Amino acid sequence: MSRQYNFSSGPAALPEAVLQQAQAELLEWNGARASVMEISHRGKEFIALAEEAERDLRELLAVPSNYKVLFLQGGATQHFAQIPLNFAQRGQRADYVLTGDWSEKAAKEAKPYVDVRIAASSAATHYDRIPPRAEWDLDPSAAYVHVTPNETIRGVEFHDIPDVGGVPLIGDVSSTILSRPLDVSKYGLLYAGAQKNIGPSGLVVVIVRDDLLERCPKDIPKILNYAEHAAQGSMLNTPNTWGWYLAGLVFKWVKAQGGVAAMAERNRAKAEWLYDYIDGSGYYKNPVERSARSWMNVPFTLPREELDAPFLKEAEKAGLLALKGHRTVGGMRASIYNAMPLEGVQALVDFMKDFARRNG
Ligand code: PMP
């Protein structure tokens, strides 16, 4: 067995206990005499599994009863376009707050379907902060306001949910969901690709307030219509049953860890351990303003670019995987989602100290 500490940004490490359970019941699930991947999504066994997963997620995030929880597909990227298609009328404006590469992409993909306004952006400072709320130029008649509460590439996270008045707030929580408590009631819609804190890629969780579903137009393809998915319990067509099953196991695991409040305590401790070391090292650097630093994705640079390759090679040898930064920004990035234990972060810091000492 050679599993190691995996700092991949996504698909990311899953809790080992979840993988072990999935392995143990891979061939035959729950007395079905078949794998969970091989049974009908409309059978009572799978429906029970699906309902239980939804119940657990609702409990973990205290999702109010006037919200639907959907288990969809298409990656978060599909929803960049699907959101304006469903919630904006032609010619209507929507406000986007740009805090990194993913919010930029969300705005770009929305453009064919809504008049995108950039209400605030930190592009001018290379996305090293969150523009202060007081400086946002919001349009009270906008269809919605879109934010990315955690930017996976540059490691920028909102630590408070901004108040945007009566306009529905939409959040791409792909890389922060389940890492800390989340006040769902502040949002009109939340969406998350699963492959960081929920399960395997190919599954997208959407949490949407009922009144927004009334906006979904009838003249778009059903498969892109959130109201249709909600009316069919996310079974308009064959869902990602394997992803749904694994997500259910992860929800149980998070509950067993003490829920999202307990996860938050651990995640804060992990992030502090790493940032404190980086800041005090005089060797490594993280460019993000302290108040906006992510608990989930920690990018850092070495003093000279030519040290990157040996750092990565030696880290791999030391059992610390996937620390290479995103290709668009370079440097390193440690993604420390829920499944990464504090010991993994401590092992990383120990390695970083040793590397700095040898390559000072
Ligand atoms: N939003 C964020 C914040 C992400 O981190 C990612 C993927 N890393 C995406 C959207 C795109 O997700 P997908 O690849 O599932 O479309």
Ligand 1 contact, 75 CB (< 6 A)? yes
What average pLDDT is seen over the chain?
A: 97
Tell me how far the alpha carbon of residue 103 lies from the centroid of ligand 1, in angstroms: 10
Ligand 1 contact, 355 CB (< 6 A)? no
- In this predicted structure, the answer to whether residue 337 has a pLDDT above a threshold of 90 is yes
Give 70 or 91, the one with higher predicted confidence: 70
Tell me how far the alpha carbon of residue 61 lies from the centroid of ligand 1, in angstroms: 21
Whole-number pLDDT of residue 187: 98
Q: What does the pLDDT average to over 35-58?
A: 98
Whole-number pLDDT of residue 299: 98
Ligand 1 contact, 152 CB (< 6 A)? yes
Q: Which of 188, 342, 332 is nearest to 265 (CA)?
A: 342
Ligand 1 contact, 77 CB (< 6 A)? yes
Q: What does the pLDDT average to over 5-23?
A: 98
Q: Which atom of ligand 1 is nearest to the CA of 9?
A: 8
DSSP state of 287: -
Residue nearest (by alpha carbon) to ligand 1 atom 15: 75
Ligand 1 contact, 10 CB (< 6 A)? yes
Tell me how far the alpha carbon of residue 129 lies from the centroid of ligand 1, in angstroms: 20
Which backbone phi and psi does 125 adopt, to 5 degrees?
-110, 30
Q: Which atom of ligand 1 is nearest to the CA of 80?
A: 10
Whole-number pLDDT of residue 2: 79
All structural domains of the chain, each given as residue ranges with its CATH number in brackets, are: 16-256 (3.40.640.10), 258-359 (3.90.1150.10)
- In this predicted structure, the answer to whether residue 99 has a pLDDT above a threshold of 90 is yes
Catalytic residues: 102, 172, 196
Q: What does the pLDDT average to over 49-69?
A: 98
Task: Specify whether the CB–CB gap between 338 and 267 falls below 8 A.
Answer: yes
Give the pLDDT band (50/70/90) at residue 91. Answer: confident
DSSP state of 102: H
Tell me how far the alpha carbon of residue 77 lies from the centroid of ligand 1, in angstroms: 6
Structure confidence by residue, pLDDT tens digits, 233-292: 999 999 999 999 999 999 999 999 999 999 999 999 999 999 999 999 999 999 999 999
Whole-number pLDDT of residue 82: 98
Determine which of 74-78, 84-88, 186-190, 325-329 has the lowest per-residue pLDDT on average.
Answer: 325-329
pTM: 0.98
| CA dist., res. 299 & res. 154, Å (int) | 6
Best mutation site among 152, 176, 189, 196 for ligand 1 pocket (most ligand atoms within 8 Å of CB): 152
Residue nearest (by alpha carbon) to ligand 1 atom 9: 76
Q: Which of 270, 343, 358 is nearest to 307 (CA)?
A: 358
E strands along 3-114, which residues? Answer: 5-6, 67-72, 93-98
Whole-number pLDDT of residue 1: 63
- In this predicted structure, the answer to whether residue 200 has a pLDDT above a threshold of 80 is yes
